[in-house]
Amino acid sequence: MQVDLETFRWLLTEPGQRLLDAAAEAHAAHAGDPVRTATEVRRTESDAARAAAALTQVRLRLDAAAKFGADAARMYFTPDALEQATRAAVAAHRAGRLAAAQPSSVIDLGCGIGGDLIAFARAGLTVAGVDLDPVRAAIAEANLAALTLGGAVAATDGTALDLRGFGAVFADPARRGGRGRVFDVEGWTPPWSFVQSLFDRAAVVKVAPGIGHDLLPDRLEAEWVSDRGEVKEAALWCGPLTTCRRRATVIPAHPAGQAGLATLTEEDDPYQGQPRPVRDLGDFLYEPDGAVIRAGLVTAVAAGVRGGLVDEHIAWVTSDDEFRTPFARAYRVVERLPYREKQLKAALRARGVGSLTIKTRGVDVVPEQLRKRLALTGDQSATLVLTRIAGAGAALLVAPLP
């Protein structure tokens, strides 16, 4: 349910806060049962819109914990804005980079519910945010206040503002419309033509990780970021914020209280401008992180593990040496199996395999469909890589390294 501005502002009042507390208690008491929870909340609040808004916030706060951690319990959301919000770890990385450049301030054009504003403010920046949607702007303002952070937020069109008074600009163009995802960059809000106007000033633009390299002029730095193995976004660092042309940043999972990341640029790749290094299959196989692949830095991983590619056009790296690297998942090659399905099935059954993880790259195979056709029933678990080696199909039984 999308909340209207009047109802949201009521939630911020003392009666609204009491209703939110009651909704959270009802949710916990009834183990999340939506019917029983809603029934109890509506006994407390007769206004249907207010009751629904409180129930929605309780549910969204629980959902938001994956992105915002403990902060989520004090924040406010809408369903679509939560879906589009940046994960806290990714936003914190970006804010830290921007703060290191020491801009006087930063304005967020299209701030949504304020996830990036929060990160910028925590990094010590003076922040301002604008959004076309008055509800999102009000939520962003409330979230800054809930986390006792300073900042100004307004509901207005950021493309019409004079940006010269701000030290840096952050933009996250909306890539969804009434009919779903928008793939035409001129259909973004703001459109690509406006984004291009930021390229020569101190600006950071968040874009989809699948953005075409042909859209990115050489004077920009394009950074692809993955969090816990999942590519989340690309960020374009413009003007004086540019430090390289291509960067892959990996934010790994860490125990509570720990932090850290790893980053690669074209300066780490000795094969830039040279033929891609292809070699015979070694004892180890490395699967580069998605951010590395999107940034075109697979050969940097190859150099880092003293290896090469199994095929010129495939993002699998092989080496005779065992390494641990944040930029790739490592596997020990156990043996090479027949690639043809009938013989492959027989080989896996002979090894007692019943549970099979299938990883494919460069071959026309759907893992779920193949797994069903193999109909394995053994008691052993295994990982199978289906790919091309020197242009030919190959099946490799591998063991993931810890």
Per-residue pLDDT tens over the stretch 222-231? 999 999 899 9
**DSSP-based three-state secondary structure for 223:** strand
87 and 23 share one domain: no
| Amino acid occupying residue 166 | F
177 domain-assigned: yes
Domain with 325 in it:
284-400
Residue type, 316: W
Shared-domain flag, residues 302 and 170: no
Residues 109 and 50 in one domain: no
How many of the other CB atoms lie within 10 Å of CB of 232? 19
pLDDT tens, position by position, 69-88: 999 999 999 999 999 999 99
1 vs 57: CA distance, rounded Å: 10
Give CA separation, 206 vs 175, 195, 244, in Å.
11, 10, 17
Flag whether 77 is in a domain.
Answer: no
Segment among 88-92, 122-126, 182-186, 190-194 with least mean pLDDT:
182-186
pLDDT at 190: 87
User: Which residues neighbour 67 within 8 Å (Cβ) at sequence distance 6 or greater?
Assistant: 82, 85, 86, 87, 88, 115
**Is 377 domain-assigned?**
yes
In the numeric block, which tokens belong to residue 43?
């006994």
The Cα 129–Cα 108 span in angstroms is 5
Indicate the average pLDDT of the chain. Answer: 94
d(CA 62, CA 27): 11
Q: Which residue has the higher pLDDT, 228 or 319?
A: 319
**Residue range 391-395: average pLDDT?**
95
Local confidence band at 177 (pLDDT 50, 70, 90 cut-offs): low
Whole-model pTM: value is 0.91
Report pLDDT for 8: 97
Residue 260 has pLDDT above 80, yes or no: no
Whether residues 57 and 88 share a domain: the answer is: no
* Measured CA angle at 230 (ends 224, 231), to 5 deg: 20
220 contact partners, CB below 8 Å, separation of at least 6:
199, 236, 237, 238, 242, 245
pLDDT > 90 in the chain, percent: 89
41, two tokens: 């909340």
Percent of the chain with pLDDT over 70: 96
Over the stretch 82-130, which tens digit does the pLDDT of each residue have? 999 999 999 999 999 999 999 999 999 999 999 999 999 999 999 999 9
Residue 58 CB partners (closer than 8 Å, separation 6+):
20, 23, 24, 27
The answer on pLDDT for 254 being more than 70 is no
Q: What is the pLDDT of residue 255?
A: 43
pLDDT at 259: 55
CA 142 to chain centre: 24
Burial of 251 by CB count in 10 Å (0-12 exposed, 13-18 middle, 19+ buried)? Answer: buried
Of 108, 73, 77, nearest to 8 by C-alpha is 77
Residue 36 shares a structural domain with residue 107: no
For residue 117, the Cα-to-chain-centroid distance in whole angstroms is: 17
259 lies in some domain: yes
Assign 402 to helix, strand or coil. coil
The pLDDT of residue 22 is 96
The end-to-end CA distance of the chain, in Å, is 43
The mean pLDDT value for 285-294 works out to 97
Is 313 in the same domain as 256? Answer: no
Q: Are 359 and 392 found together in one domain?
A: yes
Same-domain check for residues 254 and 306: no
Q: What's the mean pLDDT in 292-310?
A: 97
Query: What's the structural domain count of the chain?
Result: 3
The residue among 296, 251, 255, 293 whose CA lies nearest residue 94 is 251
330 and 239 belong to one structural domain: no
299 and 194, same structural domain? no
Range 12-15 contact pairs with CB under 8 angstroms and sequence separation of 24 or more: 12/142
Query: In angstroms, what CA-CA distances link 72 with 89, 202, 215, 227, 311?
Result: 14, 30, 35, 18, 45
